[in-house]
C-alpha cells in the first residue's frame, strides 16, 4: 500500500507492541468494507437493519460503561504543563507513553490490527491533513470510512512525507478505570485505550480535527474551529458562506441544515450545508479566509432528531448509516429513539439489548447520547462545494450561546478584535438536561473549551494574529442568542427555520446594505430591518424586547468575565483586558 518509511517503521513498532494475529490495511474499497460489515454481523458487533426501509444501515451497542466522551480521562500531554493551560488535563508525555504502552501491550492477541489511512478534508486539498489510525475494532473502521476519506488514494497523496498524525486505538477490556484518551501535540500522536465509544475512538474526530489541529493551526498560521459551515443562496444565485460556533444544546446541527421559512423558499432562497461540526480555515490566495469541513460524515445525537426539528439530518440517516445505542424495533428491524415520533415500538430492544416496551416502560429506550454516523453526501442540502479542495470563502463568523436574558437576539462586533472578545466570553446557562443547578452561566470560549489542544490564552492570541493577517479581508463577527425567555419562562424568538431571518440580516450587514444601532456591546439591528413577514404571534414589539441591551445586566456580566479571565494569568492577551475595560466603561 505504501513505501513511506515513517509510516512503515511506526507500524512495525505498533505490531511489536500490540502483537496482533493478523494485519489488514484498509484500502477504501466497497468490497473490503462489505466483507467487514458481514464479519461484524457474524460476531454480533453489529446488527444489520431492514434492507428495504434502511438500506445499508446497521445497529451497534457499546458497553454500558462506555457511552460518551470522557473529559476527565482526556489529556493534553505537552512537554511543559503550562503549555496545556488551565482548561485542559495535563500528563507528562514520558509518563503517559509508558502508562499507555503498558496498557496496550499484547492487547491485540487473538485480534486483527486494522490500519486506516485517512484524510481530514477532500483528498489532495491544500487545507487537508492525513492521519493513520491503528485499531482492533471493525466498528471503528466502518465509522471512519463514513466520517473521513479512507484508503489507498490517501497514501498516494501522502507519498514519502512525514507530515501525518499517528493514532493508536486499543479496545483492551473496555475498563473505565484504565480508560485514557491522550494527545501529544508536539509529536502529532493520539492514543486511546479501553474505550469503544465513537467520540473516544474515531481519532479523526475531536482528537485530530480539533485538539491536534488547533495546535498545528497555531504553528502553521491557520485555524481549526468547532464550527458549522453553511452557504446562503439568494434568489439571484449568489452564495455567501458563514461559519458558526455554539456550545452543545444550542441548535448547531439544526442551524447547519436549516430550511428557510416558506416565504423565503418561494422567492428562491436556499441554505447549503458544508459542515455541521468542524471548520478548518486558512487564508486563500485572494487574502480572504477559506474553510473546509475536514469530515465526510455526520456523527449526530439521535434523540431529539425528527422531521420537525431537523428533517435534513433525519433524511441523511436513511441509508448507509451506523446507529449506536438506539432502540431496535423488533417488529420491522428498524430503529427508534425518544422524540423521533409519538409512536414508540412495543416489541423492541433498548440500547442495552434488553426487551423494552415503549408504551409501558418508564425507562428511556435509547441512550440520551445515542448516535448516528451518516455520510454527508446523503444530506438533501449538502453544498455543491462540499468537495471543493480550495474551500469556501467565509463572509461572517457567528458565535452564540443559550442565555435567558442579557444577550440580544443578534449583535455585530465593532471590529475583529472586539469580535475575538465576543467569542472569548461566549456562555450558556445550564438547563435541566445538565446535572447541577439550572441557570448557572458556563463560559465556553468559541465553543472550544474541551477541544483546544494548548493553552487557551495562546489560542486567543492566535485569533488576534489571524485578524492582523487578514486585515480588511477578515470576516465580520456576530453573536446570536435564540433563547431569550419571557417572564413566564417561554422562548420569545420562534427559532428553528426562522433563524434564517437573522442570517439574512447578517449577510446584508456584510454587504453593507443595512444600517445598525450602536450599543455598549456592539451593533444591533433596527427592528424594521429584520423581516417578520409570515411570522404569526410575533410582533415588532417582541423583537425590540429581544434586541434590547441592558447596561446594568452587562455591567454584572463584566464581573463574571473578569473572574473567568483570571485563570489565564499573564498569558491572557492584553487586548482582551482592554476590551473588557471598554465594556465596563460603556456600561457605566
SS (H, E, C) 198-251: HHHHCCHHHHHHHHHHHHHHHHHCCEEECCEEEEEECCCCCEEEEEEECCCCCC
Residue 531, in any domain of the structure: yes
Are 291 and 307 found together in one domain?
no
**Same domain, yes or no: 369 and 401:** no
Q: Transcribe 115-156 into DSSP letters.
A: EEEEEESSTT-TT-EEEEEEES-HHHHHHHHHHSEESHHHHH
**Can you tell me the distance from the alpha carbon of 58 to that of 573, in angstroms, rounded to the nearest whole number?**
48
* Pick from 351, 235, 229, 246: nearest CA to 293: 229
Q: Is 403 annotated as a binding residue?
A: no
Any idea of the CA torsion for 462, 467, 468, 474, to the nearest 10 degrees? 150
Residues 291, 303 share a domain: no
Do 322 and 432 fall into the same domain?
no
The answer to whether 50 touches 332, Cβ cutoff 8 Å, is yes
DSSP state of 492: S
Q: DSSP letter for 163, please.
A: -
Same domain, 474 and 518: yes
CA distance 71 to 200: 10
Q: Is 206 annotated as a binding residue?
A: yes
Based on the residue annotation, tell me whether 250 is a catalytic residue of this protein.
yes
Q: Which residue has the cell 492525513?
A: 130
Helix (H) or strand (E) holding 274: strand 270-275
What's the first-to-final CA gap in the chain, in angstroms? Answer: 66
Q: How far is CA 511 from the centre of its chain?
A: 28
Domain C-terminal end among 362, 378, 394: 378
CATH number for 539: 3.90.228.20
Phi, psi of 281, rounded to the nearest 5 degrees:
-130, 135
- The CATH number of the domain holding residue 189 is 3.40.449.10
Looking at the structure, do residues 302 and 291 belong to the same domain, yes or no?
no
Q: Is residue 103 part of a domain?
A: yes
181-199 in b/e burial notation, b at 16+ Cβ within 10 A? bbbbbeebbbbbbbbbbbb
Indicate if 428 and 471 belong to the same structural domain. yes
Cβ–Cβ under 8 Å, residues 257 and 307: no
* Residue 249 in marked binding region: yes
Domain count, the chain: 3
The answer as to whether 143 is a domain residue is yes
> Is 60 contained in some domain?
no
User: What is the pLDDT tens value at each position of the chain, 588 positions in all?
Assistant: 999 999 999 999 999 999 999 999 999 999 999 999 999 999 999 999 999 999 999 999 999 999 999 999 999 999 999 999 999 999 999 999 999 999 999 999 999 999 999 999 999 999 999 999 999 999 999 999 999 999 999 999 999 999 999 999 999 999 999 999 999 999 999 999 999 999 999 999 999 999 999 999 999 999 999 999 999 999 999 999 999 999 887 889 999 999 999 999 999 999 999 999 999 999 999 999 999 999 999 999 999 999 999 999 999 999 999 999 999 999 999 999 999 999 999 999 999 999 999 999 999 999 999 999 999 999 999 999 999 999 999 999 999 999 999 999 999 999 999 999 999 999 998 765 444 566 789 999 999 999 999 999 999 999 999 999 999 999 999 999 999 999 998 999 999 999 999 999 999 999 999 999 999 999 999 999 999 999 999 999 999 999 999 999 999 999 999 999 999 999 999 999 999 999 999 999
pTM: 0.97
Q: Which of 220, 244, 274 is the last residue of a domain?
A: 220
Nearest one of 32, 2, 188 to 112, comparing CA atoms: 32
Q: How many CB atoms lie within 10 A of CB 437?
A: 8
For residues 258 and 400, state if they share a domain: yes
Pairing of strands 270-275, 228-233: antiparallel
277: annotated binding-site residue? yes
Between CA 401 and CA 251 the distance in angstroms is: 9
Residue 251 labelled as part of a binding site: yes
**567 plus 454 within the same structural domain:** yes
Question: Tell me, what DSSP letter sits at residue 482?
Answer: T
Label the pairing between strands 392-400 and 289-292.
Answer: antiparallel
253 falls within a domain = yes
* Distance in angstroms (rounded) separating the CA atoms of residues 125 and 292: 9
Choose, from 182, 250, 379, 452, the residue flagged as catalytic. Answer: 250
Grid coordinates given for 560: 463574571
- Reference 204, options 120, 145, 274; nearest CA is 120
347 is in an annotated binding site: no
Does residue 554 sit within a domain?
yes
Residue range of the domain that includes 327: 298-378
Question: Are 462 and 347 members of one domain?
Answer: no
DSSP state of 493: S
* Domain end point (choices 378, 408, 424): 378
Dihedral of alpha carbons 444, 445, 449, 455, sign: negative
Q: Does residue 341 sit in the same domain as residue 216?
A: no
> Residue 65 domain-assigned?
no
User: Is 49 within a domain?
Assistant: no
402 and 312 inside one domain = no
Q: Is position 9 annotated in a ligand binding site?
A: no
Amino acid at each position: 500500500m505504501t513505501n513511506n518509511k515513517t509510516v512503515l517503521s511506526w507500524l512495525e513498532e505498533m505490531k511489536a507492541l500490540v502483537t496482533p494475529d493478523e494485519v489488514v490495511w484498509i484500502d477504501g474499497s466497497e468490497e473490503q468494507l462489505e466483507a467487514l460489515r458481514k464479519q461484524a454481523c457474524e460476531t454480533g458487533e453489529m446488527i444489520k437493519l431492514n434492507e428495504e426501509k434502511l438500506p445499508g444501515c446497521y445497529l451497534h451497542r457499546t458497553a454500558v460503561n462506555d457511552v460518551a466522551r470522557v473529559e476527565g480521562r482526556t489529556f493534553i500531554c505537552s512537554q511543559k504543563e503550562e503549555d496545556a493551560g488551565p482548561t485542559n488535563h495535563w500528563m507528562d508525555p514520558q509518563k503517559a507513553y509508558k502508562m499507555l504502552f503498558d496498557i496496550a501491550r499484547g492487547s491485540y492477541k487473538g485480534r486483527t490490527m486494522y490500519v486506516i489511512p485517512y484524510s481530514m478534508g477532500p483528498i489532495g486539498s491544500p487545507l487537508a491533513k492525513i492521519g493513520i489510525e491503528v485499531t482492533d475494532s471493525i466498528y471503528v473502521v466502518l465509522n471512519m470510512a463514513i466520517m473521513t476519506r479512507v484508503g489507498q488514494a490517501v497514501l498516494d497523496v501522502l507519498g514519502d512525507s512525514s507530515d501525518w498524525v499517528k493514532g493508536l486505538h486499543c479496545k483492551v477490556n473496555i475498563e473505565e478505570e484504565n480508560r485514557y484518551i491522550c494527545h501529544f501535540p508536539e509529536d502529532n500522536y493520539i492514543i486511546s485505550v479501553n474505550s469503544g465509544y465513537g467520540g473516544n475512538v474515531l481519532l479523526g474526530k475531536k482528537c485530530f480535527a480539533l485538539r491536534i489541529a488547533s495546535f498545528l493551526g497555531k504553528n502553521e498560521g491557520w485555524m481549526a474551529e468547532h464550527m458549522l459551515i453553511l452557504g446562503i443562496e439568494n434568489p439571484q444565485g449568489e452564495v455567501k458562506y458563514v461559519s458558526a460556533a455554539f456550545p452543545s444544546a444550542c441548535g448547531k446541527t439544526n442551524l447547519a441544515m436549516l430550511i428557510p421559512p416558506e416565504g423565503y423558499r418561494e422567492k428562491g432562497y436556499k441554505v447549503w450545508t458544508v459542515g455541521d461540526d468542524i471548520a478548518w480555515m486558512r487564508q486563500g490566495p485572494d487574502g480572504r479566509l477559506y474553510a473546509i469541513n475536514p469530515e465526510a460524515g455526520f456523527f449526530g445525537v439521535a434523540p431529539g432528531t425528527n422531521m420537525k426539528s431537523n428533517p435534513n439530518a433525519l433524511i441523511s440517516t436513511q441509508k448507509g448509516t451506523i446507529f449506536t445505542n438506539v432502540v431496535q424495533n423488533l417488529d420491522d428491524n428498524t430503529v427508534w429513539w425518544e422524540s423521533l415520533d409519538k409512536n414508540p415500538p412495543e416489541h423492541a430492544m433498548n440500547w442495552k439489548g434488553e426487551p423494552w416496551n415503549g408504551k409501558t416502560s418508564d425507562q428511556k429506550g435509547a441512550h440520551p447520547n445515542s448516535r448516528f454516523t451518516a455520510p454527508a453526501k446523503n444530506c438533501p442540502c449538502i453544498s455543491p462545494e462540499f468537495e471543493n479542495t480550495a474551500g469556501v470563502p467565509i463572509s461572517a463568523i457567528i458565535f452564540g450561546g443559550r442565555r435567558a436574558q442579557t444577550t440580544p437576539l443578534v449583535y455585530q462586533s465593532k471590529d475583529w478584535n472586539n469580535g475575538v472578545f465576543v467569542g472569548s466570553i461566549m456562555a450558556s446557562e445550564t438547563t435541566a438536561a445538565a446535572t447541577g443547578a439550572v441557570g448557572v452561566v458556563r463560559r465556553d470560549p468559541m465553543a472550544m473549551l474541551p477541544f483546544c489542544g494548548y493553552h487557551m490564552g495562546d489560542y486567543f492570541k492566535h485569533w488576534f494574529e489571524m485578524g492582523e493577517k487578514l486585515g480588511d479581508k477578515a470576516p465580520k463577527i456576530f453573536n446570536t442568542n435564540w433563547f431569550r425567555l419571557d417572564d413566564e419562562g417561554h422562548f420569545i424568538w420562534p427559532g428553528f427555520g426562522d433563524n434564517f431571518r437573522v442570517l439574512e440580516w447578517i449577510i446584508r450587514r456584510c454587504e453593507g446594505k443595512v444600517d445598525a444601532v450602536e450599543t455598549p456591546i456592539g451593533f444591533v439591528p433596527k427592528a424594521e430591518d429584520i423581516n417578520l413577514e409570515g411570522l404569526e404571534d410575533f410582533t415588532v414589539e417582541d423583537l425590540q424586547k429581544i434586541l434590547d441591551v441592558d447596561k446594568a445586566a452587562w455591567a454584572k456580566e463584566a464581573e463574571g468575565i473578569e473572574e473567568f479571565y483570571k485563570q489565564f494569568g499573564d498569558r491572557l492577551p492584553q487586548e482582551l483586558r482592554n476590551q473588557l475595560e471598554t465594556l465596563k466603561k460603556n456600561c457605566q
